[in-house]
Structure formats: structure tokens, C-alpha cells
């Protein structure tokens, strides 16, 4: 089967390409990129006025399967990813049972192969049952195809365990994705600590709870020479630490989420639990610093931290509600608003969603090079749409963006040469 994507504005930051080109796909590979490609016996895709990009990659997704299929499963989660413009996602190990052994990882891979519509790359736990006490069998997880290690959802509190994990993971060049949170400082917290926690009377989570752990993990990365990736950076203090670590040549990378880039703690005043997320939505000052850091190269990628929940987990008292935002299907539109506002260049934005995350995990993805897997995301930059969670493919309808209007939405998602999402609908 052949696809000819015609007349789109091709943006391939890794190759510094930004011009109107055609792309020819044969079976699952990109075979030609150029002007006025002519080919017979192929499906023509008119991509005029669209942005044709390498397939978007989201390295921080909770697919919930196995164990929490009422929140999300691999079938629904990969469809949400395709609808959100992602061709590759990495799933976090906080499932039930925890993805801390070969059989769970193998199960996830099988489910993804049988039921999934995008590439699913599993992340293994750092410690057994994510208890923070004993390392998982890292070599085995590496062998079955884990692309990284993380206890995401909870921090590795013990510094000695984190140190050993880093040293051990380094043998396999596995990055360790760190959820940075000092639990003694964040305990019982519901939102960012600051003026608005005072104003709304909710227990605050100070930025220091994140910064302390970021500092510790930077120091441990320096000590061990291992690669630490800081998940969902939310506080400006953390960014400053990361900036300095990078200048020093320490192997540190980091991601930010769409919600931390666009929302502030002010919106918690609705007491709508869809605004409840960990790390919490921070202050206006934090958001400004995060946005500036996007174009300064301090932030390596955008990741959604897609955390779908069932209705009851959010439709309740604020402190009883679960943390998390269902983010796969809004990530592109939400972050593209920063492009429209002129706060970040289009090419930088595409890089943060493609070559950026690919480099963090050392994936052979994120470009439109000839011979590469035909993972392609096509975006309609002018499409205006309101976020309507009832139309989500994800089972998680929990989003603080509901009802908000955004310009620039995924129009087509091609994974391995097959169209999996087109014009609002999953094709699978």
C-alpha cells in the first residue's frame, strides 16, 4: 500500500526542514520526500494548508492496564493517543500488578500489538511494587523491551535506592524518569502553596517539595554519571536547577506538561476536581518561566502525563478526588495555543513533540528521514474546536480544559504507513 501526502507544509526539525513538500509512503516506510512527487496506485492525501510532522511522541502516559481498566485500557488509551496526534506513547508502570516484571511488560506489549493503534513502549518500575525499597530486575526488563524506568506517581524517597537504581540502569543506558516530590512537604496537599491556597483555604504543596527532589536527583546523576529525566517539571526553581545542571554537563533532561504550561493555580477556585493534578498547577510566575524555557532548550520535551480517571474519582469533594488530567487528546491543541500566541516557534514546538522526546529515550524516531517508519502526524493549524470530553476516545473525561476553545488540532495520524486517525475519527 502506498500513501502520497501532497502539498503539506513539512516540518522536520531534526533535519531543519520547514517547507511545502510531498511525502511518499510505501508499506510501513517513508520512501521519498520531495517536491512534486508523482506516483501511481496510491492513496492521495491532500495536505494543503496542513502541517506534516514526524509522528508525535508522548513519553509520559498512564494506560492503566492491567488493573484499572475502568479508568483506561490499552484499546481506549491508544485510540485517545491517535486522536491526539500521537503515533508513539510510553506507558507508566503504576498498574495493578505493577509493571515491575517480565510478565506484566510482556502482557502490555501483547495487548498493544493486538488492540492498540499506536506504538506503545513500556516503562518499567524502578523498585518492586513501586515501594521504593528493592530494585526491580532491571536487566530482565531491559531485555523484554522497557525503554526507561520510573516509579512515577510516587517518588523514590530513599536516596540510597535511587543511587543504586541510577548506577544499575546506567549499565543498560536506561534513563530513569524521576517523579520529584518530597512527601513530607507535600503530604495532604491539594494545590500549589501560595496566595491562592491561602485564598481558597486548601492545603498547599510548596514548590520546594519538587525542587528538593530535583536537586537531589541532579546530585545523584552527577555522582553516578547516569541519565536522570525529570518528569512534569512545574516549579521555576526546578528549572533553574536543571539549567545549571545542564550547563555543568550533567546528564539531565526534563519534560513539561501542557497543563503546567497554560493553567495557573487560580482556576482551582471552582473547586472542580478536574483541576487537581500532581504536581499541582503553579503560579502565573512559574508558568511564564516554563514557557520561556521552552525556546531556550532547557526543556527537552512536552509530555501529557495523561492520567485518566473514572467519573467517581473526580466527581466528589476536592480532597477526596484523585490527582490527574486526561491529556492525550488535548495536548496538541493546548500547546499549539502557545505557537499562535507567538510564545514559541512552530519548529521548536514540533521538536518538543518529536525529536525531543525521541532523544530523551534514545528512540530511533522523531524524524521524517527516508527509510524510517512512516509515523506521521498531520495538523490542521486553523481548525477551531472546543474541548468536549464527552467525545474523548479516552475513558478518562477528567480535563480542566473542558469547554475551552483552541485553534490547531490533529487532522490525521499515520502510524507505520496506516492511517489510524482522520478528520476526527479513528480508522481501525
Partner 1 sequence: MGFEKRKDLLGIKDLSREEIEQILDTAVPMKDILKRDIKKVPTLRGKAMVTVFYENSTRTRTSFEIAGKYLSADTVNLSVSTSSVQKGESLKDTIRTLEVMGFDLMVIRHSVSGTPHYVARNTGIRVINAGDGANEHPTQALLDMFSIREKKKTLEDLKVAIVGDILHSRVARSNIYGLTKFGCEVRVVGPATLIPPEVEKLGVKSYYSLDKALKGVDVINVLRIQRERQQKGLFPSLDEYSELYMLRPEHLKKAKEDVLVLHPGPMNRGVEISSEVADGSQSVIEEQVTNGVAVRMAILYLMMGGTKDEIIN
CB 70 within 8 A of CB 395: yes
Look-up: residue for cell 548506577? 167
Instruction: Indicate whether 198 belongs to the interface with partner 1 (CB under 8 A).
Output: yes
Phi, psi torsion values for 87, nearest 5 degrees: -105, -20
Instruction: Indicate whether 316 belongs to the interface with partner 1 (CB under 8 A).
Output: yes
Phi, psi torsion values for 412, nearest 5 degrees: -150, 140
Q: Is 305 a catalytic residue?
A: yes
Instruction: Indicate whether 313 belongs to the interface with partner 1 (CB under 8 A).
Output: no
Q: Which stretch binds partner 1 (CB under 8 A): 12-20, 25-33, 198-206, 344-352?
A: 198-206
Query: What is the C-alpha R_g of the chain?
Result: 20
Q: Which stretch binds partner 1 (CB under 8 A): 44-52, 103-111, 200-208, 324-332?
A: 200-208
Identify residues 243-272 at the interface with partner 1 (CB under 8 A): 270-271
Cβ contacts of 378 within 8 Å, gap of 6 or more: 5, 8, 45, 47, 50, 51, 52, 53, 410, 411, 412, 413, 414
Identify residues 77-136 at the interface with partner 1 (CB under 8 A): none
Residue whose CB is less far from partner 1, 172 or 199:
199
Instruction: Indicate whether 195 belongs to the interface with partner 1 (CB under 8 A).
Output: yes
Q: Which stretch binds partner 1 (CB under 8 A): 5-13, 234-242, 315-323, 324-332?
A: 315-323
CA distance linking residue 410 with residue 428, whole number of Å: 17
Q: Considering 305, 348, 375, 380, which one is annotated as catalytic?
A: 305
Among 317, 364, 371, 425, interactor with partner 1 by CB under 8 A: 317
Instruction: Indicate whether 285 belongs to the interface with partner 1 (CB under 8 A).
Output: no
Considering the complex, what minimum distance in angstroms separates the CB of residue 314 from partner 1? 11
Look-up: residue for cell 510516587? 154
Residue whose CB is less far from partner 1, 201 or 249:
201
CA 167 to chain centre: 25
Instruction: Indicate whether 204 belongs to the interface with partner 1 (CB under 8 A).
Output: yes
CA 171 to chain centre: 25
Phi, psi torsion values for 83, nearest 5 degrees: -65, -25
Instruction: Indicate whether 371 belongs to the interface with partner 1 (CB under 8 A).
Output: no
CA distance linking residue 428 with residue 425, whole number of Å: 9
Instruction: Indicate whether 193 belongs to the interface with partner 1 (CB under 8 A).
Output: yes
Sites of contact with partner 1 (CB under 8 A) = 190, 193-195, 197-204, 270-271, 312, 315-320
Active site residues: 305
Amino acid at each position: 500500500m502506498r500513501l502520497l501526502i501532497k502539498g503539506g507544509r513539512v516540518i522536520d526539525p531534526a533535519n531543519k526542514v520547514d517547507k511545502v513538500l510531498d511525502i511518499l509512503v510505501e508499506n510501513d516506510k517513508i520512501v521519498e520526500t520531495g517536491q512534486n512527487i508523482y506516483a501511481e496506485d496510491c492513496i492521495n492525501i491532500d495536505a494543503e494548508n496542513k502541517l506534516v510532522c514526524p509522528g508525535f511522541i508522548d513519553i509520559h502516559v498512564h494506560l492503566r492496564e492491567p488493573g484499572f481498566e475502568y479508568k483506561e485500557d490499552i484499546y481506549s488509551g491508544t485510540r485517545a493517543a491517535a486522536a491526539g496526534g500521537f503515533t508513539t506513547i510510553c506507558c507508566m508502570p503504576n498498574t495493578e500488578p505493577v509493571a515491575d516484571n517480565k510478565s506484566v511488560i510482556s502482557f502490555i506489549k501483547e495487548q498493544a500489538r493486538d488492540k492498540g493503534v499506536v506504538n506503545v513502549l513500556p516503562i518499567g518500575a524502578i523498585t518492586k511494587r513501586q515501594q521504593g525499597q528493592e530494585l526491580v530486575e532491571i536487566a530482565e526488563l531491559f531485555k523484554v523491551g522497557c525503554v526507561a524506568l520510573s516509579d512515577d506517581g510516587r517518588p523514590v524517597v530513599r536516596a540510597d535506592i535511587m543511587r543504586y537504581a541510577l548506577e544499575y540502569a546506567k549499565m543498560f543506558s536506561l534513563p530513569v524518569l524521576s517523579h520529584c516530590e518530597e512527601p513530607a512537604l507535600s503530604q495532604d496537599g491539594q494545590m500549589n502553596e501560595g496566595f491562592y491556597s491561602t485564598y481558597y483555604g486548601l492545603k498547599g504543596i510548596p514548590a520546594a517539595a519538587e525542587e528538593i527532589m530535583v536537586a537531589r536527583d541532579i546530585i545523584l546523576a552527577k555522582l553516578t554519571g547516569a541519565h536522570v529525566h525529570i518528569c512534569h517539571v512545574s516549579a521555576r526553581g526546578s528549572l533553574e536547577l536543571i539549567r545549571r545542571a545542564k550547563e555543568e554537563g550533567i546528564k539531565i533532561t526534563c519534560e513539561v506538561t501542557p497543563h503546567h504550561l497554560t493553567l495557573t493555580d487560580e482556576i482551582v477556585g471552582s473547586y472542580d476536581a478536574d483541576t487537581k493534578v500532581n504536581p499541582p498547577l503553579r503560579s502565573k510566575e512559574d508558568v511564564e518561566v516554563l514557557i520561556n524555557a521552552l525556546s531556550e532548550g532547557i526543556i527537552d520535551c512536552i509530555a501529557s502525563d495523561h492520567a485518566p480517571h473514572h467519573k467517581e474519582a473526580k466527581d466528589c469533594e476536592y480532597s477526596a478526588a484523585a490527582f490527574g488530567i486526561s491529556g492525550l487528546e488535548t495536548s496538541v491543541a493546548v500547546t499549539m495555543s502557545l505557537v499562535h500566541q507567538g510564545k514559541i516557534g512552530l519548529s521548536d514546538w514540533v521538536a518538543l513533540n518529536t525529536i525531543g522526546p525521541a532523544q530523551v529515550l534514545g528512540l530511533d524516531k522523531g524524524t521524517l528521514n527516508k527509510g524510517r517508519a512512516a509515523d506521521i502526524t498531520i495538523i490542521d493549524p486553523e481548525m477551531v474546536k472546543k474541548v468536549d470530553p464527552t467525545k474523548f476516545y479516552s475513558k478518562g473525561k477528567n480535563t480542566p480544559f473542558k469547554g475551552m476553545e483552541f485553534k490547531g488540532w490533529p487532522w490525521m495520524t499515520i502510524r507505520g504507513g496506516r492511517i489510524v486517525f482522520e478528520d476526527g475519527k479513528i480508522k481501525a
